Structure 1
Amino acid sequence: MRKYVVLMLLTVIFTSCSQQPNPSFKQEDISILPKPSSLKLNEGSFKVEPNTAIILQDESQKKGANYLAGLFNKAAGYNLELQNTIAEGAIVFETIEGLKEGAYQLNVNPTSINIKASEESGFFNAVQSIRQLLPTAIESKEKVAADWFVPSVTIEDEPRFEWRGMHMDFSRHFFNINEVKDFLDNMALYKLNTYHMHLTDDQGWRVEIKKYPLLTEKGAWRTPNNQDTICMDRAVENKLYTIDESNFKTIDGERKYGGFFTQEQIKDIVAYADDRCITVIPEIDMPGHFKSAIDNYPFLSCNGESGWDTVFTYPTCLGKETTYEFMKNILDEVVELFPAEYVHIGGDEVNIASWKVCPHCQKAIKDNNLKDEHELQSHFNRDIEQFLKSKGKKFMGWDEIVTGGLTKSANIMWWRNWAPNAPKIAAENGNKVVVTTTAAYYFDYLNEGTTLKGVYNYEPIPADFTAEEEANVLGIQANLWSERIPNYKRLQYQAFPRMLAVAENAWASKENKNFEVFNSNVEKQYDRLDALGVYYYVPAVEGLDKEIAFVEETSVSLSLAYELEGTEIYYTIDGAVPTKASLKYEAPFVVNDTIEIKARAYRGELYNDLKSTKVIHKNYIESVDVTAQEKGLKQWVVKGKFKKEKDIKTPTTPNFTKVEGIALGDLKDEKNFAVVYQGYFNAEKDGVYEFETRSDGGDLLFLGEDVIVDNSGWHGPKKSYGKVALKQGLHPITIKYRPSDKPRVIEVKYALQGEELTPINSLVTRF
């Protein structure tokens, strides 16, 4: 070590007389994501030359060094030499004690680059920061001419969470090995370190199991299903939903969809990820979501049959030893393929109905002194957990496994945002938790709903967690369920740029986060994503989310969900799909005819999901001549069960309640009832008015005898709207609300078309 320090000092002496200073950079030139714990920008820069050496001390530095050398080999044609002797103008890796796993220190000056860490992932993460400091040309797969300056910086950095994850679902739609490797490269760039492969589900089995060859010979292939049909229907106008043709093949004269990874391919993926300090977590879903296996090994189910029940498929039988043997034989092969300490067994959305009538399952419940079917699943989980433990692995499942009881060593992924007790129970029990909730981290949800800002501002640690419980949170993960992600381009569109928000949430401390700063850094990353060939989300076109109504004419205004340099809106008024040859949106335009408008935004060759609406003509409805002095509305609570909203009769009795507005209030605890609101809506001036209702269960909004908003049916909290042209004055309004079994909400809002919706209240109603 003393010799090494002396050599370091010699490096400074040899290289201190640089003839021409390298350029300096400004703060606005720098974008490192996730944001480092601390970063100081200094004068000058370091230039990587063809003869720049990379100095190594030990094996822990090789992954980072090899990755850096590989970047320059492809993009610059440099063969940077890895050596253990000092050299002038070098990139020096130095192992020090005491840094957190993944942490690093980086010092770049005009004469050297010095990287310090305590283990291999720290060195690798430092290299990714260097990568982001370099010109985007470093991402080129072919040799390009560039000056490879690295800005002079001093960085000290460490991650907040141990688990910084992304997930891909291969069962619903399949992605090939080259796409997996590309995704891993993108994860590495943003210091994400855990890759969750959802390899089995009802729709397809995606990993070779040699003991049970039918799992992939037959279970990996299906006739096109409703998920495929939805994508194919959308692909007519939106090529981002095109199903990858390479995943179809003809089997016994029938065209089938599918694919799987051989065990050799899995080993290749695991090794490729390991070179990037990424751990691959396998998920083999059990005992539910197992149809692709039961189809070909029907003895696994309770009655020897495979198929769908009301919502979910029939699970495996947990009263037969053959089930346990089958699962363990599969896991025997899986644990040999994946060195990761965790194995995910799913355990979610299990349909327990068949267990209730299965004599084998009922006998198992009785023989093992179990309370119910939930405890039967926990009994199964504990058995599998012990098996995995015997193989040196840790057991993980979705948060449903909390029901029925957990051992001290089980681990969960909390996905059900509406089930906050699950992670609380687990963390209190000492179980490790990965936060992957639908509220922020389900990236199959559209960007317009789960926005970049929403993802970034989401705090993964529940507010009621104690310090001890917080210590049991391993980290966070975003999921890409592929029911409506039929190709890799679409997967990237769903993942980026939201994946960058996950990366920073997982890395930066709560105190070191700021969305405006983050968003500015994201904007600087787009050129790098372009160089990488990433098909990221282009901000949505707004202004066509609802029908547009007019009496004589109306102005149509379009905008982007947020500004993104180089993004332009194109539209059509004849129902055709817009291209860059269509009308370019420059300013609001006037419409005075019934037409269909379609629009999308382009950034270069990237485009987003199509937005469309119809422009419809409306005739004015005259106001009524009534005397209505009282402000507010009449409210009747009608007792009884109603199949449909239209079955609710408007009472004529005088025993109503005067209300200032429309809200559920104290009725949340009522059972078997409906609510009717009635009065007059006061249109302040002639115009097109929009009405919006939000309710669970269902509702109808009438103006006079006409239904303006139809939000009927049987549903959870849901919005519907309608538009109508009203003359100034009073108009009779009725709202009929049929709540769900657990009443939650009834709201009604209004606005002049194009203005912000506000609640209907006593300011605009009379009776």
Structure 2
Amino acid sequence: MPLSVHEPDAATLARSADKAAGELLAPPAPVQLPDVVPAPQRVEPDPAEDWLLSPDAVIVTSADPAALTVAAYLAELLRPATGYPLPVTDTTRPAATGGIALVLTGDDSLKDDASLNDDDGLGAEGYQLAVTRAGVTITAATATGLFHGVQTLRQLLPPTIESAVPVTERWMLPGGTITDAPRFPYRGAMLDVARHFFPVEDVLRVVDHLARYKLNHLHLHLTDDQGWRIAVDSWPRLSTVGGATEVGGGPGGHYTKADYRRIVSYAAARHVTVVPEIDLPGHTNSALVAYPELAPDKVAPPPYTGTEVGFSYVDPADERTYDFITDVLGEVAALTPGPWLHIGGDEAFKVKGEVYTGFVERTQRIVADTGKTVVGWHQLAPAAHVDGRVLQWWGTNGDDPATLEAVRRGARLILSPGNHAYLDMKYAPDTPVGQDWAGLIDVRRAYDWDPGSHVTGVADDAVLGVEAPLWTESVTSLAEIEFMLLPRLPAIAELGWSPRATHDWAGFRDRLAGHGRRWTAAGITFHRAPEVPWPVEGAGSAQPVRPQIPAQPGPDNAPVPSTDNP
């Protein structure tokens, strides 16, 4: 029988959030320069230089197309709540004073490493934001840095800037300077669209949540026992047959190639790289339903709508399996401009020892032939190393000799410890959705660990970054996605972005508290975690009705506006 899935509605989630609010409430306070999440590298407040965004303000940047695109995004972000026109102009036109300037430094010596470890520049993702009475300037070496600076500017405005309708507000920014760059180059979250399928618009909404907190990778878990979610021309039944199920017996679904390109393009415009995962050799029941020739016994299994793991696998002894892998990974790689291709590799309980490592080694070579860098769950560790290989570590005990040995052979790690970063875990025993096999993860548990030293013996420089996975065995809607992501996603984002020296739970929870009003203004569902001192909403606070996600308009969910006629 299909698994019965508890589906709390929005009202249930809201009641749970209100109950969790507890007594840790405080009056709203004006935004201060150090309030940013993730914590910046260096903050130098200057209250004498506060700046007021006025109705005649102009956004000025260079004629560089990428900078103009970021400027247009900023204008679309600020226009709905302010009601101001905020025209965008490049420096070849007359520049108005008292506006917002986005400045590219023209540093062409940048490398792929996004960290800032010296005083020579801002790095590939860094920025400097200066607020004075004369205006605001964001300076960066790349459009990515400008985009991150825009997200910081957004947080320095009053929370009602997130409203989709005009709000009467004094749009004041605190004066001073922020100089900032990330600790780790890879900062991401994973959305499992295989256990439950989510339409494109929901995925785009998740991209916006990542971009808001300077996360730069979206890992899509595209295939599993319950459903195959990406169209493959050479194996069409994967999506039409394998994609027709999901946990609980729902209709499932899949992304066409046009859908996937839309996700990739939307993410890229927000400086987020999509990392597709095709899970192999296990977690493949949906593929075997569609193509029984891939099964060890060549018999099609029944569609699976439960949540058990480890029972399915493609035949590692059949050459047809490797034809399948070559075709599928080749097509997915061709659709994906980012450098990463994730091959899963976990919980293949029936493919053991040398058979498993042989399968992984051959699949790694297939990935290399596509021109991509292989990523896999840390169960890949015993297989031979290939250049650039990345292991995603999801353990709950940092003592892992096999992973340490893989690192010694050249692997790098993405840290996703199940008992800290798995955002499908419940906050508390009464959380209405989620799992608890890795324990309960409240906001403090999500925040209080160090990616740079979490796996015993692995040095900081072998850690590529962090990722927060959201598995969806029990998550069935956008509201539930947001409820599980927020407020824990900003905690993971701070671990990936901020210098370790800034790590401080008391300070973080106070900074995080101000974001509840932002999410409310934006119509975002979130959990009012009792350990966070959420502000009391005053009688005059804006309380807009949560909007439906539009196909086109809106500062976050629209495509980045054209800059042909700024």
Where on the TM-score scale, by shorter chain, does this alignment land: which range? Answer: 0.7 to 0.9
Instruction: Show CA shifts across 1:589-641 (max 9, x none).
Output: xxxxxxxxxxxxxx9999xxxxxxxxxxxxxxxxxxxxxxxxxxxxxxxxxxx
Residues 1:478 and 1:319: Cα distance change in structure 2 (over 3 Å)? same
Report what 1:678 is aligned to. none
Note if 1:83 corresponds to 2:90.
yes
Q: How does 1:102-181 map to 2 (within 5 A)?
A: 102-181=125-204
1:338 maps to which of 336, 339, 362: 336
Report what 2:65 is aligned to. 59
Deviation at 1:472, TM superposition (A): 1.8
The higher relative CO (CA closer than 8 Å, separation ≥ 6) is in 2
Deviation at 1:197, TM superposition (A): 0.5
Q: Name the count of aligned residue pairs.
A: 478
Report what 2:473 is aligned to. 483
Residue 285 of structure 1: SS of its match in structure 2? strand
Report what 1:195 is aligned to. 218
Residues 1:188 and 1:329: Cα distance change in structure 2 (over 3 Å)? same
Note if 1:72 corresponds to 2:78.
yes
1:459 maps to a residue whose letter is: D
Structure 2: how far apart are the matches of 1:464 and 1:221?
A: 39
Q: How does 1:681-692 map to 2 (within 5 A)?
A: none
**Contact 2:122/2:180 (8 A) holds in 1:** no
Deviation at 1:136, TM superposition (A): 2.0
Structure 1: how far apart are the matches of 2:195 and 2:69?
A: 34
Note if 1:269 corresponds to 2:260.
no
1:524 maps to which of 511, 514, 520: 514
Report what 2:275 is aligned to. 281
Deviation at 1:157, TM superposition (A): 0.8
Report what 1:592 is aligned to. none
Structure 2: how far apart are the matches of 1:338 and 1:169?
A: 18
Structure with the larger strand share: 1
1:304 maps to which of 295, 298, 302: 298
Deviation at 1:268, TM superposition (A): 0.8
**Contact 1:51/1:81 (8 A) holds in 2:** no
1:473 maps to a residue whose letter is: V
Deviation at 1:72, TM superposition (A): 2.3
**Contact 1:375/1:405 (8 A) holds in 2:** no
- TM-score, length basis structure 2: 0.79
In structure 2, the gaps of 5 or more residues are 1-28, 108-120, 429-439, 538-542, 547-566
Note if 1:416 corresponds to 2:395.
yes
Structure 2: how far apart are the matches of 1:428 and 1:331?
A: 28
Structure 1: how far apart are the matches of 2:406 and 2:139?
A: 36
Deviation at 1:262, TM superposition (A): 1.1
Structure with the larger helix share: 2
Instruction: Show CA shifts across 1:299-339 (max 9, x none).
Output: 00111134489952221011111100011111121112111
Residues 1:283 and 1:310: Cα distance change in structure 2 (over 3 Å)? closer
Deviation at 1:36, TM superposition (A): 0.8
Task: Answer with 1 or 2: which has the greater Rg.
Answer: 1
Deviation at 1:446, TM superposition (A): 0.6
Structure 2: how far apart are the matches of 1:178 and 1:59?
A: 26
Structure 2: how far apart are the matches of 1:457 and 1:63?
A: 36
Instruction: Show CA shifts across 1:522-550 (max 9, x none).
Output: 111110011122211133xxxxxxxxxxx
**Contact 1:74/1:140 (8 A) holds in 2:** yes
Structure 2: how far apart are the matches of 1:207 and 1:311?
A: 21
Deviates more, 1:135-144 or 1:278-287: 135-144
1:495 maps to which of 460, 481, 485: 485
Structure 1: how far apart are the matches of 2:236 and 2:387?
A: 35
Residues 1:324 and 1:265: Cα distance change in structure 2 (over 3 Å)? same
Tell me the C-alpha RMSD between the 2 structures: 2.5
Instruction: Show CA shifts across 1:168-222 (max 9, x none).
Output: 0001112111111111111111111111000100000111112222112111112
Deviation at 1:95, TM superposition (A): 2.2
Structure 1: how far apart are the matches of 2:506 and 2:189?
A: 24
Structure 1: how far apart are the matches of 2:41 and 2:507?
A: 14
Structure 2: how far apart are the matches of 1:315 and 1:62?
A: 48
Note if 1:390 corresponds to 2:369.
yes
- TM-score, length basis structure 1: 0.59
2:72 maps to a residue whose letter is: N
Report what 2:441 is aligned to. 450
**Contact 2:443/2:531 (8 A) holds in 1:** no
Q: Among all aligned residue pairs of Structure 1 and Structure 2, give the percentage whose two residues are the same amino acid.
A: 30
Deviation at 1:153, TM superposition (A): 2.1
Structure 1: how far apart are the matches of 2:30 and 2:527?
A: 28
Report what 2:319 is aligned to. 321
Deviation at 1:565, TM superposition (A): 4.5
2:185 maps to a residue whose letter is: E
Structure 2: how far apart are the matches of 1:313 and 1:391?
A: 29
Q: How does 1:483-562 map to 2 (within 5 A)?
A: 483-539=473-529
Structure 2: how far apart are the matches of 1:426 and 1:306?
A: 36
**Contact 1:63/1:124 (8 A) holds in 2:** no
1:381 maps to which of 346, 357, 360: 360
Structure 1: how far apart are the matches of 2:134 and 2:205?
A: 33
Residues 1:525 and 1:516: Cα distance change in structure 2 (over 3 Å)? same
In structure 1, the gaps of 5 or more residues are 1-24, 229-254, 356-372, 540-559, 568-602, 607-767
**Contact 1:73/1:80 (8 A) holds in 2:** no
Structure 2: how far apart are the matches of 1:518 and 1:115?
A: 24
2:156 maps to a residue whose letter is: L
1:297 maps to a residue whose letter is: Y
Q: How does 1:535-684 map to 2 (within 5 A)?
A: 535-539=525-529, 564-566=534-536
**Contact 2:342/2:374 (8 A) holds in 1:** yes
**Contact 2:188/2:217 (8 A) holds in 1:** yes
